Amino acid sequence: MAKNFLKFEYLLLFAVFIIATCGLIYELVAGTLASYLLGDSVKQFSFIIGVYLFSMGIGSFFAKFVKKNQLNTFVEIEILVGLIGGLSSVILFILFEKVDYFQFILYLLVFVTGCLVGLEIPLLMNILKEKVKFSDLVSNVFTFDYIGALLASVLFPLVLVPKFGVMKTSLFFGMINISVAIALCFLLSKDLKRPILLKFKAIFAFLVLIFTFLFSDQILSYSEQKLYGENIIFTKATPYQRIVLTHTKNDYKLYLNNNLQFSSADEYRYHEALVHPVMATAKNIENILVLGGGDGLAVREILKYKDVKNITLVDLDEGMTSLFASNTILKKFNHNSLTDSKVKVFNKDAFLWAKEEKNKYDVIIIDFPDPSNYSLGKLYSLNFYKSLKKIATPETVVVIQTTSPYFAPKSFWCINNTVKEIFPNADAYHVYVPSFGEWGYTIASNNSNTDFSKVSRKVGGLKYYDYQYKKLNFFPKDMIAKDIEINRLDNQILVRYFDEEWGKL
């Protein structure tokens, strides 16, 4: 009998240890996610710890109302903590993309987990109080509680996050949590009421977690975390590309198919240089066309000009434009540009769209991905620029992101020469964007009298561009390439140049 009782006591104390470990893990997961996703880690961690401790207090307070079936309630809470804590990271990752009230959900989850963990210790003490001397009980329970906490706080940053990633860590500890519940169900079968139902609940919860665990690779690719060497806070696979948002310190980076699209720290250089020279020099700026640029960052710059009446944005990927129109963090980057009433978004293939389009545009801004494959290469072909010409007026000015004249001079001048075949008045310029390197653009117009350095209008508040076009269009020797062919659909020479040049790196 005494032996049995010993087993009963140690089993429950072991449970305390596990609960404490798991509880702290959930708290750390929430804190980490909050700082990944929302930035400002000091604030986030501080808030999370505060809310967590507070909610534990609330849980403890309510523990006194549990009078009947204490052991059953204890096991049930164990299952619930495992399920909610374990799934919390998954829920947060999924919701981050979709909802505005992300912070609410975050703190709600922290609160619920805290309450449940807070309930457990007093409950356990109630269960054991008749069987163990009170002083022993208190000291034992708290000893195991704090050992668990230490273990969790050491393991979490050193082993768990680097090895498993945040999502798998929380799922894994959810499973441990529930395993303890399952073990209790079986070992304390006699002391429990309706043990079969409880066993069923526990096993079911365990299966939910294991299933999520197995598919967590799909939710967040663990391998990519390693690839980027940054915290991935969001990934999304659309039919066209894989969108990955990462965060380190105060810098967010967006990758499309593993290629850096922008870094929040310096994207203003890229987008100011893309938009303002052409907006300053164009004769009219009423109707603006943006091809690509589903991130809305170019549109943000265009909207600074009050004379602009309509902006048409054509981006293939609905997943991309809707993400940048709805996600809180991403909307901060583009200043809600995609939901502006002047902006019309079409999720169409730019080439096919341009062939069908009947309207004409005063300014055309092209921000396509680099020509890294034959599909994308079509968007830099002679034929594509021919179809652009049809939607341009004689006064229209076109600007095209033209990859790096430093890393890929042949590619750069290939695009420039191809444009020149169709728009005879074409020039090139480049800027330094720290996260990309030297980056270049082609600017072109039908009208041979268009002077790209002429400034017809300006807006204030730019961080980089000072409307001195002449400062940007000088190319030193190492950014020049000669004897470059024209890129046509039937030769796609650009893709070859590009592969040769970027492949070398």
Partner 1 sequence: MKNGENYNVRTRRTFLKSISAGIILASIPTFFNACKEKVITFAIRLSGTNHILGHRLRTKDFPKISKTIEIPYLIIGGGISGLSAGRQFKKKGIEDFLILELESSAGGNSRNGENKYSKYPLGAHYLPLPNIHDKELVQFLEESQIITGYQEGFPIFDEEQLTFMPQERLFFKNTWQESLVPKFGITKTAEAEFNRFFEKMADYREKRGKDEKYIFDIPLASSSQDGNFDFLDKISMKEWLIHNKFISEELYQYVNYCCRDDFGLGIDFISSWAGIHYFASRKHNATKEKTENVLTWPEGNARLMNHLKEYSKDKIFTNHLVYETKLEGENVIVKAYDDFKKESVSIRAKKVIFATPQFINSYLLPDRLNITKDFHYAPWLLATMTVIDLDDNNSYPLCWDNVIYGAKGLGYIYNQHESLGQIQEKKVITYYYSFSTNDLKRSRKELLTKPEDYWKELIINDLKIAHPDIENVIQEIDIQRIGHGMISPVPGFLSGNSRAEASRAIENKIFFAHSDLSGISIFEEAFHQGINAVNKILE
User: Shortest gap between Cβ of 276 and partner 1 (angstroms)?
Assistant: 18
Task: Determine the interface stretch with partner 1 among 34-42, 145-153, 190-198, 374-382 (rule: CB under 8 A).
Answer: 374-382
Q: How far is the CB of 12 from partner 1 (least distance, A)?
A: 24
CB of 139 to partner 1, least distance (A): 35
Cβ closest to partner 1, residue 146 vs residue 374: 374
DSSP letter at 290 equals: E
176 sits near partner 1 (criterion: CB under 8 A): no
Q: Closest Cα to residue 457, out of 307, 301, 249?
A: 307
**How close are the terminal C-alpha atoms of the chain, in Å?**
73
Binds partner 1 by CB under 8 A, chosen from 377, 415, 450, 465: 377
CA 344 to chain centre: 24
265-294 residues in contact with partner 1 (CB under 8 A) are 270
Record the tokens describing residue 84, joined without a space.
């909610």
Residue from 401, 418, 442, 445 touching partner 1 (CB under 8 A): that is 401
Q: How far is CA 124 from CA 61, 70, 91, 177, in A?
A: 14, 8, 29, 16
305 binds partner 1 (CB under 8 A): no
Q: In DSSP terms, which residues pair with 256 in a beta bridge?
A: 243, 259
Residue 444 assigned ligand-binding role: no
Piece in contact with partner 1 (CB under 8 A), picked from 41-49, 123-131, 148-156, 491-499: 491-499
- Which residues between 186 and 245 bind partner 1 (CB under 8 A)? 210, 213-214, 217, 221-224, 226-227, 239-240
Distance of closest approach, residue 352 Cβ to partner 1, in angstroms: 5
DSSP string, 337-390: GGGSTTEEEE-S-HHHHHHH----EEEEEEEPPP--SHHHHGGGSHHHHHHHHH
**Active site (annotated) includes residue 217:** no
261 near partner 1, judged by CB under 8 A: yes
Annotated ligand binding at 483? The verdict is no
- Residue 83 in contact with residue 180, Cβ under 8 Å? no
Out of 260, 455, 462, 481, the residue judged to bind partner 1 by CB under 8 A: 260
| Min dist. Cβ of residue 191 to partner 1 (A) | 27
Instruction: Establish if 255 lies at the interface with partner 1 (CB under 8 A).
Output: yes
Is residue 421 near partner 1 by the rule CB under 8 A? no
Q: Per rule CB under 8 A, is residue 139 in the interface with partner 1?
A: no
The residue range among 16-24, 29-37, 148-156, 495-503 that interacts with partner 1, by the rule CB under 8 A, is 495-503
Q: Which residue in the set 374, 451, 466, 468 belongs to the binding site for partner 1 (CB under 8 A)?
A: 374
Task: State which residue, 326 or 435, has the beta carbon closest to partner 1.
Answer: 435
Any known ligand binding at 247? no
**In this chain, which of 35, 170, 312, 381 binds partner 1, going by CB under 8 A?**
381
- The answer to whether 490 is a known ligand-binding residue is no
Question: Comparing C-alpha atoms, which of 376, 460, 430, 401 is closest to residue 262?
Answer: 401
**Strand 251-256, strand 259-263: pairing:** antiparallel
Measured from the CB atom, is 379 or 426 closer to partner 1?
Answer: 379
List the one residue from 52, 234, 324, 351 that touches partner 1 (CB under 8 A).
351
- What one-character DSSP code corresponds to residue 452? T
Cα dihedral 389/392/396/398 (nearest 10) = -50
Does the protein bind partner 1 through residue 375 (CB under 8 A)? yes
Active-site residue, selected from the candidate residues 340, 362, 367, 427: 367
Q: Which of residues 145-164 bind partner 1 (CB under 8 A)?
A: 164
For residue 433, give the H/E element and its range.
strand 425-433
Can you tell me the distance from the alpha carbon of 478 to that of 191, in angstroms, rounded to the nearest whole number?
Answer: 81
Q: Which long-range contacts (CB under 8 A, 24 or more apart) does 476-479 make?
A: 478/406, 478/409, 479/405, 479/406, 479/409, 479/412, 479/430, 479/438, 479/440
Cβ atoms 131, 114 nearer than 8 A: no
Indicate whether 452 belongs to the interface with partner 1 (CB under 8 A): no
Give the C-alpha separation, 254 to 112, whole Å. Answer: 33
DSSP 154-217: HHIIIIIHHHHHHHHHHHHHHHHHHHHHHHHHHHTGGGSSSHHHHHHHHHHHHHHHHHHHHHHH
From CA 397, how far away is CA 392, in angstroms rounded? Answer: 8
Q: Which is nearer to partner 1, 9 or 217 (CB)?
A: 217
Q: How many residues bind to partner 1 according to rule CB under 8 A?
A: 58
Give the nearer residue to partner 1 in terms of CB position, either 196 or 207.
207
The answer to whether the annotation marks 271 as part of a ligand binding site is yes
495 binds partner 1 (CB under 8 A): yes
DSSP 379-421: GGSHHHHHHHHHTEEEEEEEEEE---TTT-HHHHHHHHHHHHH
295 carries a ligand binding annotation: yes
Closest CA to 377 of 246, 266, 263, 491: 491
Binding-site positions for spermidine read 271, 295
Known binding site: residues?
A: 241, 271, 295, 315, 349-350
Residues that bind partner 1 (CB under 8 A): 164, 168, 172, 210, 213-214, 217, 221-224, 226-227, 239-240, 255-256, 258-262, 270, 316, 349, 351-352, 355, 369-370, 372-379, 381-384, 401, 403, 433, 435-437, 439, 488-492, 495, 502-503, 505
Active-site annotation, residues: 367
